[in-house]
Amino acid sequence: MSAVKPIARSIVSLNLTKPVSALVTAAKAIVAAMTGNTSFATPDPALAVISNDIDALATAETAAQARTHGAAAVRNDKRAALVTALEQLKAYVQKTVDANPANAAALIQSAGMNVKKAAPHPKRVFAATDGAVSGSVNLITEAAARRASYEWQYSTDGAKTWILVPPTLQAKTTITGLTAGTTVAFRYRSVVKTGAADWSQPVQIIVK
């Protein structure tokens, strides 16, 4: 049986443009797409709020184009208010579609917004290989950050209990003194400035 591939999370994108006229057009399209859209029953903010912000920006842009004193600053404030409201609406759409990942892309498009695919995070490489001498095992993984340390453990009883070995500043180590012919499990975790990560999934090897 083939493995089931995880569904990549669909990320909502607004792609807001700088020209006010384009922003107004894009915002109106979103409001039109979401009006009566049963997939988004309770927009947050309400679409009426977004529409009011659109009208306010359009009015302020007209005054700014006429070079009315102080109008440019008002226009900029109205633009910021609309962008903030749209970002909040985007967060609402994202939360809604996250609950229905299989149809997320179609739902996002039905809201008049754009889809940006986020690929599933690849699993971090962690490998155990035979060491240079009998009873030794080399462990290696990917670097977690420029400044990180790595804690290592091994288990000889099927991952029931773990034995801690000295940490390293490199993403590799060699464990020695193991009994040849036994199956040993290994795991690690990285420690960075913000704290320690979770322990990795164990890998096993028959010690040579």
More confident call, 118 vs 183: 183
Tokens for 80, please give them: 């910021």
Closest to 171 in 3D by CA, of 195, 153, 151: 151
Average pLDDT over residues 40-59: 96
| pLDDT > 90? residue 161 | yes
Cβ atoms of 114 and 14 closer than 8 Å? yes
| pLDDT > 50? residue 111 | yes
Q: How far is CA 171 from the centre of its chain?
A: 24
Average pLDDT over residues 11-21: 86
Which tens digit of pLDDT belongs to each residue from 58-109? 999 999 999 999 999 999 999 999 999 999 999 999 999 988 888 888 999 9
Q: Which pLDDT band holds residue 119 (cuts at 50, 70, 90)?
A: low
Q: Quick one: what percent of the chain has pLDDT higher than 70?
A: 92
Rounded-to-integer distance, Cα 197 and Cα 188, Å: 9
| pLDDT > 50? residue 36 | yes
Cβ atoms of 118 and 165 closer than 8 Å? no
**What pTM, to 2 d.p., does this model score?**
0.55
Average pLDDT over residues 9-25: 87
Q: Are strands 137-141 and 126-130 parallel, antiparallel or unpaired?
A: antiparallel
- Give the domain ranges of the chain: 9-118, 126-206
According to the model, what pLDDT value does residue 1 have? 37
CATH fold of the domain at 126-206:
Immunoglobulin-like (2.60.40)
Tokens for 146, please give them: 């420029």
Average pLDDT over residues 10-33: 90
According to the model, what pLDDT value does residue 117 have? 65
